[in-house]
Structure 1
Amino acid sequence: MLTLYTFHNSICTQKVFITLAEKGMECEEETVNLFAAEQYSPAYLKINPKGVVPTLVHEGRTIPESSLICEYIDETWPDSGPGGKLIPYGPFLKSRMRLFSKLVDETIFESTRELSFSAMFREKMKKMPEEQRRKRFANVGDPSKRARLISTYEQGIESPYVFQAIGNWEKAFSAIDASIAEFGGPWLLGTRFTLADINMIPYLWRIEYLDLIDIWLDDHDAAAAWWERAKTRPSAVSCIPDRLNEDDINAMKEHGGKLRDATLKKRKEYLGLKPK
């Protein structure tokens, strides 16, 4: 039996849902309410000491981290699903797939979080009682993550971490363009849909919902064509827009739209700093 600990609209969990959908598999879902800080409860910290979602439990064994969970599912059930394996064949393509995993885990996850937080969750934190807000900051055990959270809370779009996020997204779209040029498309690693594509899809969908994606895609034709194809993939549609309600989507668009002008300005500033 598979049990997945998740939270509504968790981007990282969306990767796992798409992987399960591609394999034709289902799981039991356990909701961890991040807004109520349930991820820091003693019971959940026993399951995932980092206090994050998702976490997969299979036959009593715990697998944390969304990228690892997706690989675990594909390697445990390699022949499931109409498309078969999602990890590409051969060491070279596997290494390229994992470059996209690293891109997400090391930069794009945080970059998307900074933009989402600046657009939406910052306003929710402003409405919290001071004591609850302090506790929320204190619960973030990693000092660097705590510093990012405090900076984006205090400065919003003017936080240097948000500027860094905008630059990281520019690099990500360039990486998509380069991969499609190298392997010929239509997917990131060629003709097969793989975990490389699954890694990226939820993050692009989030910045699309924030009404920001065209800021980059207007200058990245190959990435734009890949995205038009990716967001019609049945597994992705069923696991992202079909799981959201109209209020979710409208709230993201409304709050993200308030950042458009500042994001455009900061991207222009970032491009001006790049070596010619």
Structure 2
Amino acid sequence: MTEFVLYNAPQSTCSQRVRYALHAKGLDFTEHKLDLFSGDQLKPEYLAINPNGVVPALVHDGTPVIDSAVILEYLEDVFPDRAPMRPEDPREMARLRAMMRFVDEVPTPAIRVPSYNLAFLPHFQAMSEEEFQALCDSKPLRREFLMKMGRTGFPKADMDEALGRLRRGIERMAIWLAESGGPWIMGEEISLVDLAIMPVIVRMDDINLGSIWDDHPEIGAWLDRIRATEPFRTTYYHGALLTEKYPHLAKLREQKTVEA
């Protein structure tokens, strides 16, 4: 019997991609929720699965598959006929992969900057310099990112750059939707690129950055559509949104709503 074990974190955007794909394909899996601030992803037993020390990691019949984009493609390779989310035409396949590369290089890393500044910074501020340095040194993939942030947060220049990259992501997504005619990024059927960008759009809305697509209502319509899908409900269980975990963010969102 095929067995999937998913090591992930509820609020991790990359984890959310993979949870959605597993639910969309109707695949049963055992979920291990890692506490990233407690360092679960850096424990020897997890590093033996994913030496990069990040989530998610999917173990399929004992074989680890790491990196969310790789996992999405892997699930298509293994279960191509179950809720397929890749085109069959090689040219369209290449186009999808180019879109996913753009998502992973532009908006996906950009959303980490406001996320860390708005949600996670108080956690780091509570550390001593020695504790923070030790944390940075323990992160195989995120060391330089955390060092740049420091215990005072990313400066305005970094925030402005991140917001600019998020705007470019929104503009490119709007172009893709216009080219395909929707309702999804590649046309009539939901695809891996929808799953790839989904957590970025959801996170932007959750931390009050949804105004970035005020000039592109098609993005809001796309968000409404994906929220209405059954896999979205099971993917975004309670605690998956930052506003559900961090009360100060929820209050800020309520304040923004009242002001609007």
Same fold (TM over 0.5): yes
> Shift in Å at residue 64 of structure 1?
0.3
Q: Tell me, yes or no, if structure 1 residue 197 matches structure 2 residue 194.
A: yes
> Shift in Å at residue 107 of structure 1?
2.5
Unaligned runs of 5+ in 2: none
* Equivalent residue, structure 2, for 1:162: 159
SS at match of 2:190: coil
| Structure 1 CA distance for aligned equivalents of residues 153 and 246 of structure 2 | 21
Q: Which residue identity is paired with 2:18?
A: V
Contact 2:136 2:147 in 1 (8 A): yes
SS at match of 2:106: helix
* Equivalent residue, structure 2, for 1:16: 18
* Equivalent residue, structure 2, for 1:176: 173
Deviation track 1:163-220 (CA, whole Å, cap 9, x = no partner) reads: 2211111111111111111111110001111111111111111111111112x11122
Contact 1:2 1:56 in 2 (8 A): yes
Unaligned runs of 5+ in 1: 260-276
CA shift in 2, pair 1:99/1:255, >3 Å:
farther
Alignment match of 1:223 (pick from 185, 207, 219): 219
* Equivalent residue, structure 2, for 1:54: 56
Contact 1:120 1:255 in 2 (8 A): no
- Report matched runs for 1:29-178 at 5 Å: 29-80=31-82, 84-142=83-141, 145-156=142-153, 158-178=155-175
Contact 1:148 1:161 in 2 (8 A): no
> Shift in Å at residue 243 of structure 1?
5.3
Deviation track 1:79-123 (CA, whole Å, cap 9, x = no partner) reads: 22xxx3111221222122222321232232221111100001111
Identity of aligned residues (%): 27
CA shift in 2, pair 1:103/1:224, >3 Å:
same
CA shift in 2, pair 1:52/1:43, >3 Å:
same
- Report matched runs for 1:241-252 at 5 Å: 241-242=237-238, 244=240, 247-248=244-245, 250-252=247-249
Q: Which residue identity is paired with 1:187?
A: W
Contact 1:40 1:139 in 2 (8 A): yes
| Structure 2 CA distance for aligned equivalents of residues 41 and 223 of structure 1 | 39
Q: Answer 1 or 2: higher relative contact order, Cα 8 Å, separation at least 6.
A: 2
SS at match of 2:215: coil
Contact 2:111 2:162 in 1 (8 A): yes
> Shift in Å at residue 134 of structure 1?
1.6
| Structure 1 CA distance for aligned equivalents of residues 73 and 92 of structure 2 | 14
Contact 2:16 2:235 in 1 (8 A): yes
> Shift in Å at residue 258 of structure 1?
9.4
Q: Tell me, yes or no, if structure 1 residue 235 matches structure 2 residue 231.
A: yes
Aligned residues: 254
Contact 1:5 1:29 in 2 (8 A): yes
TM-score between the two structures when normalised by the length of structure 1: 0.83
| Structure 2 CA distance for aligned equivalents of residues 2 and 132 of structure 1 | 35
| Structure 2 CA distance for aligned equivalents of residues 18 and 182 of structure 1 | 25
TM-score between the two structures when normalised by the length of structure 2: 0.88
| Structure 2 CA distance for aligned equivalents of residues 103 and 118 of structure 1 | 24
Contact 2:17 2:68 in 1 (8 A): yes
- Runs of 4+ aligned residues of structure 1 deviating over 4 Å after TM superposition are 255-259
Contact 1:39 1:52 in 2 (8 A): yes
> Shift in Å at residue 66 of structure 1?
0.5
What's the RMSD between the two structures over aligned residues? 2.4
Deviation track 1:21-76 (CA, whole Å, cap 9, x = no partner) reads: 11111211123221011222222211111111100111121110011111111221
CA shift in 2, pair 1:254/1:100, >3 Å:
farther
SS at match of 2:6: strand
CA shift in 2, pair 1:151/1:253, >3 Å:
farther
CA shift in 2, pair 1:61/1:19, >3 Å:
same
Deviation track 1:212-236 (CA, whole Å, cap 9, x = no partner) reads: 112x111223323222222222211
| Structure 1 CA distance for aligned equivalents of residues 168 and 134 of structure 2 | 34
Deviates more, 1:174-183 or 1:155-164: 155-164
